[in-house]
Amino acid sequence: MVKEAVQKDFIQEVTILSTCNRTEFYFVSANTSPLINWVKEWYNDNLKRDIDFAKCEPYTHQGNETIKQLFRVASGMESMMLGENQILSQVKTAHEHLLMSSGKTPLLNQLFRDAVSCGKAVRTDTDLCRGAVSISLAAVELAKRIYSSFQKQKILLVGAGESAELTAKHFQENGATQFSIVNRNEERGKRLAEKFSAEYAELSEIPELLKQVDIVVAATHSKEYLITINQVNQALNARQYKNLLMIDISTPRNI
């Protein structure tokens, strides 16, 4: 996207901040009218998303409001879990990509450098991030309210992205050893399964897995439900209504 953008005469600088639940485009431009329309067209054409922007208008900021937005993001104020720390490393990564990109980006470089400094200051000088957690850790903490130990629990992770990996990591740190990984992309799913000595399964195997596992965490970006009410009801009947904890941290929801 960056290579295409810099070829437009109305775009001087560009970078992308992509996290588990947001995609933000940052531009330096003297003419925002064609810019916004171009972003919408690029988003649908290249990401194969059929979005009706008339019903789902993206938020836009200009000038000082753009600075405030990035500072709020870096500080964890726009996160699903207020004050979470993961977002700051993601802002740092976006800044690193900006530095490695071809072309001069003095304004965005300064903006992201200041945003990282702001995020650090908020975490050091305020109580906003005290006790803050990621959504993945929050899922594990919720499971700990139900199960005193994860050593014997079978855990199904639907997804193999960053959130799923963090969730597996937190479960493992709390004693979990029995994982199953389901993911649409087989290569990515198997790679995560290998990292946690887990079993890899296809999406089509979810109904059968629901009959066997104790905990399910969905963490994908699928636009459709991957676990349906019919699948859950069938699984509960087969389990003779043995407890099944299901946690959905997907965006949008997948259960």
| Active-site amino acid positions | 20
* Residue closest to 39 by CA, chosen among 52, 58, 13: 58
Total count of residues recorded for the chain: 255
Q: What's the token pair of residue 30?
A: 């003297």
Given the structure tokens 């979470």, which residue do they identify? 84
Residue 163 CA to residue 135 CA, distance in Å, equals 8
DSSP string, the chain: -HHHHTTSTT-SEEEEEEETTEEEEEEE-S-HHHHHHHHHHHHHHHH-----TTTSPPP---THHHHHHHHHHHTTTTSSSTT-SHHHHHHHHHHHHHHHSSS--HHHHHHHHHHHHHHHHHHHHSSTTTT---HHHHHHHHHHHH-S--TT-EEEEE--SHHHHHHHHHHHHTT--EEEEE-SSHHHHHHHHHHTT-EEE-GGGHHHHTTT-SEEEE----SS-SS-HHHHHHHHHHTTT---EEEE--SS---
